[in-house]
Amino acid sequence: MDEIKQEVEEEKRNPLVYILALFMILILLLWIIPYYSIKLDPEPKNIPAKESVLPANITVEKRNTTFVTRNEFLSLLNPNDQLIKQTASKVASQSCNSEKVCQAKAIFYFVRDNFDYISDPRTEYVESAREVLATGGSDCDGMAVLLANLEQAIGIETRFVFIPGHVYVQIKLDEAMKKYKTDDGWISLDPTCSYCEFGEIPYKNIESKKSYVS
C-alpha cells in the first residue's frame, strides 16, 4: 500500500518538474538569443553631433568649380585626409566598440542626421568632403562623397551608385547580416533619406536603372 502511495505522489510531482524545466529553458533562451543578436548585429550606442567631433574652423582647399563627371567622383575620395580620418575615428569610437558593422552604421547615421540636404543646380560642381563638413550640408553628390570618405577612413570598401537624378553609396561588409545586402552582396546607404535605415533606400529608387563607379 505504501508503494502505491509513493508512486501516486511521484506522478503528481512529475508535471511540476517538467513545467519547471521548461520554464528554465525558456529563461535561458531569452538570455542567449538577445546576446547573440547583439553580437551579430550590433547597434551604435550613441551618434555624436557634428559640433562635438569637428573643429571650429575647417580649412577648405581651393578647387576649380566646374562640374565633376561620374568617374571624377573618385578623385574626391581622400580618406587619409587628417580631418576625414579624425572625424571617422571619433564617430566610430564614441558610438561603438570594435565591431566594424556597428562603426559602419554609426558613420552612416552621423552623416544622415547631422548634415542637411541642400538642392544645387544641375550644373553645380560636386563638393568635397571637407566642404560638406565645413558648410553642414550639400546635395546628394556632396553627401555621397562625404559618406564614402568617412566609411573608407575606417577601412570599408565603397562605391557610388548612380540612378537618374541621384547618387548614393554602397559599402562592402562581409560580416554584416544578409538582410542588409543587395543580391550582389553590397549594402546601400542613402544619407539624403532621413527615414532610411542602414541598408535601405527609398522605395521609389529600388527598381531604378543603376550604374556603379568604384
Over range 168-191, report the average pLDDT: 96
CB contact at 8 A, 150 and 129: yes
What CA–CA distance (Å, rounded) separates 112 from 41? 20
Task: Give me the pLDDT at residue 23, please.
Answer: 63
- The band of 122, judged by pLDDT with boundaries at 50, 70 and 90, is low
68 versus 184: the higher-pLDDT residue is 184
Task: Give me the pLDDT at residue 71, please.
Answer: 87
pLDDT tens track for 59-113 = 998 877 777 788 889 999 999 999 999 999 999 999 998 899 999 999 999 999 9
Task: Give me the pLDDT at residue 67, please.
Answer: 73
What CA–CA distance (Å, rounded) separates 181 from 173? 9
- The band of 11, judged by pLDDT with boundaries at 50, 70 and 90, is low
Q: At a CB cut-off of 8 Å and minimum separation 6, what does 54 contact?
A: 87, 133
Task: Give me the pLDDT at residue 26, please.
Answer: 62
- The band of 189, judged by pLDDT with boundaries at 50, 70 and 90, is very high
| Torsion sign across C-alpha atoms 34, 46, 177, 164 | positive
Task: Give me the pLDDT at residue 125, please.
Answer: 83
pTM for the predicted model, two decimal places: 0.81
Distances (CA, A) of 95 to 46, 163, 175, 191: 5, 31, 18, 18
184 versus 61: the higher-pLDDT residue is 184
Q: At a CB cut-off of 8 Å and minimum separation 6, what does 147 contact?
A: 107, 108, 111, 158, 169, 189, 191
What CA–CA distance (Å, rounded) separates 160 from 72? 11
Q: Which of 169, 171, 162, 45 is nearest to 99 (CA)?
A: 45
pLDDT tens track for 19-53 = 666 666 566 555 544 444 455 799 999 999 999 99
Task: Give me the pLDDT at residue 183, please.
Answer: 93
Q: Which of 166, 184, 29, 48 is nearest to 106 (CA)?
A: 48
pLDDT tens track for 129-149 = 999 999 999 999 999 999 999
